[in-house]
Amino acid sequence: MLQFDPAIDFKLLLAVPLIPLFGYAIQIFFGKYLPRKGDWLLLTGMFVAMCITLYMAAKAISAGYAGEEFRHNSLDHGWGFRWLYSDRGSEAGSGNIVAGIFYDGLGAGMLAVVGVVSFFVHLFSVGYMHGDRRYHIFFANISLFTFAMLGLVLSDNLLFLFIFWELMGLMSYLLIGHFSHDPNSPRIKFAASACKKAFLTTRVGDTCLFMGMAILYYKFETLRFTELWELVRVTVEQNGGEYPGWLTAAGLLCLGGTIGKSAQFPLHIWLPDAMEGPTPVSAMIHAATMVAAGVFLTGRLYPVFSPEVLEVAAIAGGVTALFAATIGTTINDIKGVLAYSTISQLGFMVAAVGVGGVVPGMFHMLTHAFFKACLFLCAGSVIHGCHHEQDMRKMGGLRKFMPITFVCMLLSTIAIAGIPLFSGFYSKDQIIAAAFERNMLLPSSTATFVSIALPAAALLTAFYMFRLIFMTFFGTYRGGQAEHHVSLAAAGHAHVGHAHDEHGGGHGHAHGGHGHGGHGHGGHDHAHGGHGNDHSGHGHDHDHGHGGHAHTPHESPLPITLALMVLAFLGVFGGHFWPATPTDPLAHHGTWFQKVVSHDSLYGEKVARFVEARQHHALGPQAVPHDPEHIEHAKHAAHGKAVVVSLSVAGAGILLAALMYLWGKIRPEKVVGVIHPLYELVAHKYYWDEIVNLLVIKPTMALANSLKWIDEKLVDGFVLLVGFTQRAFAFFWAWFDRTIVDGLVNFVGLVSQSLGAITRLVQTGRIQQYAAFAMGGGLLAAAWLILS
């Protein structure tokens, strides 16, 4: 194997997120004036960024195969950014916030995945989004979306991870709502509703993460990952091997961020509605960004999580994996099936972390990114080739029209089903093995539940994914037939939700009348009827406005098919590089990821021993650790059992799908008739949207309307009353001032004026008159005296 210099150039690493950031800045201001509206600029930039990530990942893999530890922090080399800094120093507990780059095996793998998937999504978008009225805005937004995820992966502290985390939330809002700005889009309202739903739902988890982050900073005065891990280890050891209650609370709140961002039950409701965005956006959100960020966070905070937090993670992941997988069996919208597939696979990853399989969980995050990106882009190719039809019941036989898309989607479907020698097998098999190992070493109801739920979800995954393949690519093409001739395979009543139905984001229902049995158009067509109620409410791409169903399907253009072929190749080989280990095809001695990523390489030797002791409940003076030989024996037994179970459930799921949708040996409508009540429950997604609407949205809106009424009627009314009263008093005092006060003053003046006028009558200025008045007065006075 090629050897690479393990030295890391942090400036080169910093260029990876800066390239799409600068591309965004140019595109948002000048994109519409550039040739081809600037798509070539961002595509070139992402190609350069991808090459850098692959070169850096090769360094990590080379170091892993050479047995060298691969952990690099730019701050250790004096290379970082001081934000909040004091003279107390940069050591743990100083309260300083210094941003640096943290690049280890997990970061190397994730950075390469984001770079590769983002580049090919950009390439796919060149063909898929051609003709969109906001073409340059779309490329600008998806470039900034990529920047946010790249920055998140390279962050060495929780605060900057959170900043990039929030930026991703903002960009997802803009990208999911891309068509809400298109006045010609028939789904403008649904796109607007979907982006608001995604933004507000993920804010619940983001608020939890922020609160958990605040607790950690308050207690430890640092948010750097390496310092947090060491301080947690010391704190737990000083506490007698027990996690303090406040640390468990902080861990639960941080896990809440993962549950929101990675669409875990009960905050999963935003992800299916996110299908309202263009298909390239769906591929980015479901594969390389957004939902992967939540799982990545659990990898970074794994030492912080107490056993109680991991128990919650295991339950949440197991429930989500099985819950979403059951729903995926009833969806007829091609993107809707993949949406619930993503939710289910994310459940696998979170459950893996919960049962102590953090390395398998992170590995599945990477392999899933490749084949899920390919699956979504293949779905986009199908939608593009079928003139924006998304209902699988109106497809069929497309392998003859779209051979490249068919082969790529089939390979990725085999990978997600967990077939050996494909990438999904190695990661999913390790997750199931981790669950079995946990149940062997530490039996509990949670471990038992996860050990049952994950294989069951794997069986359903194989079933609904091959159901998608058979309904879409086999049989005869049904898109040109009248709607009533499309096989519905319904029991009771069927709701046909196809690409142009007016059903709302996540809640709407497209009613197509009462049930019809499968009509069997040509060969095995009777088996292709979708399952009754399709309340998927998923988004549909109306970017280009192609017409009805009479068009003949066609293969997608080169930019689309090239992206599909490369991602399909990675979906096959991403889990295990055959040339590197030709004698170990089933990876009994570890995959490339396990050679690069381990507890030691992730967290350092001391913290690694700490998390392994916690994993086996061997913390504290009273704990009795398992015998190492017993642990090793349990690992081998669990791995062997997991291989058998994985193969069995994958084979059973594929066989059942073939019997129902390829060979027609089992009629779907008959199965639906037998389990009709259960089917109705699952087809309506367990009514969880309705429950959330009833228990959360309606009370919240009622409270909001009540507060609005209180504000408008009482608060504003009181303010207006005070204003009216003040105005009335002002009018009264103005009248009193003008009439009484001014009147009294004016009256005194008038009297004075009148007296003055009278007095002026005798003030003539003539001395003779004054003498006569004096003499007359004297005579009157004398007369008065004499008479008295």
- Quick: pLDDT tens for 397-410: 888 888 999 999 99
- Alpha-carbon gap, residue 433 to 643, rounded angstroms: 8
Residue 78 — very low, low, confident or very high, per pLDDT cuts 50/70/90?
low
Which structure tokens are listed for 366?
């990477």
Residue 92 — very low, low, confident or very high, per pLDDT cuts 50/70/90?
low
Q: Is the pLDDT of residue 531 over 70?
A: no
Contact 298, 161 (CB under 8 A): no
Question: In terms of DSSP bridges, do strands 81-84 and 71-73 run parallel, antiparallel, or are they unpaired?
Answer: unpaired
DSSP class of residue 621 equals T
- Alpha-carbon gap, residue 395 to 337, rounded angstroms: 15
Rounded to two decimals, the pTM is 0.81
Of 33-42, 72-81, 234-243, 581-590, the least confident: 581-590
Domain boundary assignment for the chain: 10-172+186-329+338-511+536-660, 687-787
Q: Write down the pLDDT at residue 80.
A: 63
Q: Write down the pLDDT at residue 2.
A: 53
Q: Which helix (H) or strand (E) covers residue 83, if one does?
A: strand 81-84
- Alpha-carbon gap, residue 549 to 497, rounded angstroms: 15
CA angle at residue 325 from 647 to 648, to 5 degrees?
10
Any residues with CB less than 8 A from the CB of 727 and at least 6 apart, and which?
A: none
Among 142-156, 382-396, 659-673, 769-783, top mean pLDDT goes to: 142-156
Q: Write down the pLDDT at residue 77.
A: 67
Which structure tokens are listed for 317?
């992941």
Q: Write down the pLDDT at residue 623.
A: 52
- Quick: pLDDT tens for 364-405: 999 999 889 999 989 988 988 887 888 898 888 888 888 999
- Alpha-carbon gap, residue 444 to 315, rounded angstroms: 12
Burial class of residue 758 (count of CB atoms within 10 Å of its CB; 0-12, 13-18, 19+) = exposed
Residue 139 — very low, low, confident or very high, per pLDDT cuts 50/70/90?
very high
Any residues with CB less than 8 A from the CB of 735 and at least 6 apart, and which?
A: none
Q: How many Å from the N-terminal Cα to the C-terminal Cα in the chain?
A: 149
Cis peptide before 266 (omega within 30 of 0): yes
| Higher local confidence (pLDDT), 376 or 185 | 376
- Quick: pLDDT tens for 647-680: 999 999 999 999 999 988 989 888 888 898 999 9
Contact 99, 112 (CB under 8 A): no
- Which residue is listed with tokens 């303090």? 244
- Which residue is listed with tokens 């390489």? 601
- Quick: pLDDT tens for 30-54: 988 999 888 899 999 999 999 999 9
